[in-house]
Structure 1
Amino acid sequence: MKILLASIGTRGDMEPFLALGEILQKQGHDIICLFPAQFRSLAEDSGFRFTSLGTAFIEMLDSKEGKAALGGGGTGLQKMAAYIKLATRYKNINKELVELQYKVIEEEKPDRIIHNGKMIYPILWGMKNKDCNILVYPMPYVMHYAKEHAHVAFDGDYGPFFNKLTYSIASLGLVQTILSVAKQLKISDGISRKKIKQALFNGKTIYTISPSLFSKPDYWDKHVKVLGYHERDKTVNWTPDKALEDFVGKHDKILLVTFGSMTNPNPAEKTKMILDVLQKNGIPAIINTFAGGLVEPEAYDKNLIHFVSQIPYDWAFPKMYGVVHHGGSGTSHMAVKYGCVSLIIPHIIDQFLWNDILSKKGVGPKGPAISKLKANVFQEKVLDLWQNKFYKENALKLSAQMQSENFGQEIIEMVEGKNGE
């Protein structure tokens, strides 16, 4: 079959699709990626065909407003102003994204589309091509009601009644967005609020989450499945340099500090604060500056600290004692999978959720938001992470559970089969 993987977001939003693509490619399927242009190399490194959603979305996130909205720094009013500017800019960009989705899908005529909730046209396409589109979510509490937690956008547990209300509010907004896209594309046949809701809630859905961190509620329908965390081989076309290998070789216990694709308005200030705490307490660390949320200064203790501009997590995490990170779904899963303790410094919505989940699982202390990261708080948290053996014991137990999970065949059957059974 020709299978289109369609995703909008940061790099972390691409990774679950690339991992699923590798599983399906091994079955002989033709895999095409429809991602923002900045992620072409990720798709091509995995041997997939690539078609572009343009550069505008990622450029928006990398803008001054994007950094202010997604990172720390500034007052609440400044962040609110940044969100408003970002929303206005996204409204215009999204019209172009919708047109590109429509164009590619109509030209490629895929047999299946696997997509995230930000890709709207595949939902409309799936209403005409029953059981041929599969929604993928890398986090819980985004679509299907869970009694113990509100929708991720509302961040919390307000009791079953109010929790359910938050999912209703979120679904109303999504349905309205889909109606607007249908109007933009002049699609009217068979389109109504009721039918859109049926397509969203009765269609095939995969949560790419480890049951060790979130198990499927028994009141969810059978076409909604929690099918584990999957990762692709990220060491393709990458080898460690000698300086990195030497640094890892001379330290028995190391932290990796990484904010992944997250940025913030004050990367030099954040880096200095983190460096000061690590050096003061003699904690060896590798600091990843990948997207610019952290930056390498001119002077620091090179015996204790090593900077990298990128590093494959599947190479690094097995060698680390723990990870200080932003709390993306993939990073959170990988930290647990490889038995690392975690200190999450959340930047945006779902990262606060993973901060809650991992701290409740006892693999590290609950971390402060990037906007509230101060030296005294960071020192308290990182020393707790470094010294508390309880966290490591729990991380290793969860690691054993996650490493035993194998949902590859279920994913293949759900994608290939008409009924997802």
Structure 2
Amino acid sequence: MASLFVPTCLPPDIVPSQPMKIVIFTIGTQGDGRPFVALGQGLVAHGHDVCIVTSERHKSLILGGGLSFAPIASDFADLMAQEHAAMDKGNQLRIGRQMSRALCDWTPLWVNQALEATKDADLIIGSGSGTALGASIAEKRGLPFVQAQFMPMTPSRNVPPLWPNPRFRLPGVLNLALTHCARVLIWRFMSRPIAIMRRELALPPIAWAGPWSEKDANGSRRYLLYAFSRHLQPQPPDWPKDRITVTGNWFYDQKNDWVPPPALEAFLAAGPKPLYVGFGSMMCGNPKAFTQLILKALRLTGRRAVIATGWGALKNQAGHEEDGLFFIDHAPHDWLFPRMSMAVHHGGAGTVAAAARAGLPQIVIPFLADQFYWSWRLHEIGVSPTILSRKHLTPETLALAIGRASALRITTAAHTLGPLINAEHGIDRAIETLSDWGLLGEKNPSGRSAEAEGAA
């Protein structure tokens, strides 16, 4: 199926001398999967065969993008539904422990599913919770592996740690030290399921400090693509350019394939551009109360709004069109955001990028993980007026933030950022980088032997 799909954004006649089978592991929410559909389409346009290994929940997304799909046992929607209390309190440690327990349950199934999906593979790419699995399978098979991430995780003097709070300005040496500490803490949560995984694969255990070295146990280099914009977070000079690249965002656009409901089009035509309010795949313990807080804030501003209920952080309360409010389940960001005046959201990397590309001022109400970082970063570059805490959020503070986001300096910064994001062509840069690293042609940087080929 993948070989029949050629996106119009890349020349279809660019075909490498040696087409490859590329397997991508992405385990998480739909926001984790969408960028890899875009990357996969770009790789297919260059003649490669791409299979994405992810949750059955995302099968239609992958197949709809013209790519091959392989299932893996995971359901992050169910996992987050079980952790409402921890998310409401911002308890990242409890969320980490619950994630570790879930991964321990899933891991034995993952190994067999991953080995099946990577038969005849030439290159493996992994992201998020799929990173350790993809890297371990690549190590077992003697294949090159590339990690792809949507938030800065590599220690740097110039980038504050994602945890506990990036807004604190620290000396460079402390940025380095705290990021190393954060990675060791992450490793403590992940070490048990990864130990199970590596035992199943008959691989040696990973040292106590975690899998952060520049080479794996086979001596192959660890490559890393950061799929975010350099205009949101520039690549710092102390990241090694020979194995780490900030490519720009990977956008999977669907505006030409999506038909909006007539009622939505009528609402948009009936007045000035509304706000967008949506929290994607996030959930909370009391969505009714959270929805009422949001609605009260919107009424205090007197602004029109399109409210996307997503996975359930907000409750659909259709019928408030007379109040200037329109509820939808979801809509492609590339269609909807150019019709909005501002975006109020959770700070997921994909939503941040889509709103930035549309030139929108942004207000972030973070729930977990890198969302706190992107909230801080948007404030730093001037497209968000404040840093909010969901735990202490009130209708009045949100209404005030919406008012401040309408200031000329914020809207000007946001409108200036949009064309810069559009001009990056992150997919092209990612593929060019993979080629420069020798991962997409006849050259075999893994140095795998005939024995490794046979074992695979």
The equivalent of 1:235 in structure 2 is 255
Aligned-partner Cα distance in 2 for 1:321–1:184: 52
The answer for the alignment partner of 1:220 in structure 2 is 239
* Residue 93 (1) aligns with residue 123 (2): no
What is the deviation of 1:336? 0.9
* Per-residue deviation, 1:94: 3.9
Q: Which residue of 1 aligns with 2:56?
A: 37
Of 338-347 and 298-307, deviating more is 298-307
After superposing the two structures, state which structure 1 stretch, 254-263 or 179-188, moved more.
179-188
Pair 1:376-2:396 in alignment: yes
Indicate yes or no: 2:382 matched with 1:362. yes
Alpha carbons 2:125, 2:145 under 8 Å: kept: yes
Counterpart Cα distance in 2 of 1:277 and 1:259: 16
Tell me the TM-score normalised to structure 2 length. 0.82
| Corresponding residue SS for 1:372 | coil
Cα shift readout 1:174-204 (whole Å, capped 9, x = no counterpart): 3945861454214236976799523369411
> Does residue 149 of structure 1 match 2:166?
no
Indicate yes or no: 2:214 matched with 1:198.
yes
Task: Please state which structure has a larger fraction of its residues in helix.
Answer: 1
Q: Does 1:122 align with 2:134?
A: yes
Q: Give the letter for the 1:123 counterpart.
A: A
Which of residues 83, 103, 120 is equivalent to 1:109?
A: 120
Question: Which amino acid in 2 is paired with 1:42?
Answer: L
Which letter does structure 2 place at the counterpart of 1:406? H
Structure-2 change in CA distance of 1:293 and 1:97 (3 Å)? farther
2:43 match:
24
> Which range moves more in the overlay, 173-182 or 209-218?
173-182
Instruction: Provide the rounded CA distance (Å) in 1 between the counterparts of 2:174 and 2:332.
Output: 41
1:163 to 135, 156, 175: 175
One-letter identity of the residue aligned with 2:123: R
Q: Which sections of structure 2, spanning at least 5 residues, go unmatched?
A: 1-19, 441-456
Distance in 2 separating the partners of 1:84 and 1:211: 29
- Deviation string 1:81-131 (CA, Å, 9 cap, x unpaired) is 95377246424334245424543345x331111111422122123335667
Measure, in 2, the Cα distance between the counterparts of 1:155 and 1:383: 25
- CA separation of 1:194 and 1:353: change in aligned 2, threshold 3 A: closer
Q: Tell me the residue number matched to 2:273.
A: 253
User: Could you tell me whether the CA contact under 8 Å between 1:343 and 1:381 is conserved in 2?
Assistant: yes
Question: Are the counterparts in 1 of residues 27 and 74 from structure 2 also a CA contact under 8 Å?
Answer: no
Query: Which residue identity is paired with 2:164?
Result: F
1:393 has 2:412 as partner: yes
Aligned residues of 2:347 and 2:375 also touching (Cα < 8 A): yes
Aligned partner of 2:23 in structure 1 is: 4
One of 317, 320, 335 as aligned partner of 1:297? 317
Q: Percent identity?
A: 25
Tell me, in whole angstroms, the C-alpha distance in 2 between the residues paired with 1:191 and 1:139: 23
Quote how far apart the aligned CAs of 1:303 are. Answer: 5.0
Are the equivalent residues in 1 in contact too, given 2:301–2:402 (CA < 8 A)? no
Whether the 8 Å contact between 2:36 and 2:250 is mirrored in structure 1 is: no
Q: For the residues of structure 1 that align with 2:94 and 2:191, how far apart are their CA atoms? A: 24
SS class of match (2:37): helix
Does residue 323 of structure 1 match 2:343? yes
What CA distance in whole angstroms lies between the structure 2 residues aligned with 1:212 and 1:81?
31
TM-score in terms of structure 1 length: 0.88
> Could you tell me which residue of structure 2 aligns to residue 288 of structure 1?
308
Shift in Å at residue 215 of structure 1?
Answer: 1.3
Q: List alignment gaps of at least 5 residues for structure 1.
A: none
Residue 338 of structure 1 and its aligned partner are, at CA, apart by 0.8
Deviation at 1:411, TM superposition (A): 1.9
In structure 1, the residue matched to 2:5 is none
Instruction: Go from structure 1 to structure 2 and tell me whether the alpha carbon gap of 1:195 and 1:359 turns closer, same or farther (over 3 Å shift).
Output: closer
Which residue pairs with 1:333 in the alignment? 353
| Bigger mean CA deviation after superposition, 271-280 or 207-216 | 271-280
> What is the distance in 2 between the residues matched to 1:357 and 1:307?
29
User: Taking structure 1 as reference, are residues 248 and 418 closer, same or farther at Cα in structure 2, changes over 3 Å only?
Assistant: same
> Which deviates further from its counterpart, 41-50 or 198-207?
198-207
- The answer to whether the 8 Å contact 1:359/1:366 transfers is yes
The one-letter code matched in structure 2 to 1:67 is: H
Counterpart secondary structure, 2:52: strand
2:447 alignment partner in structure 1: none
Q: CA, structure 1 residues 389+320, in 2 after alignment: closer, same or farther (shift >3 Å)?
A: same
Structure 2 counterpart of 1:109, one-letter code: D
Is 1:68 matched with 2:85? yes
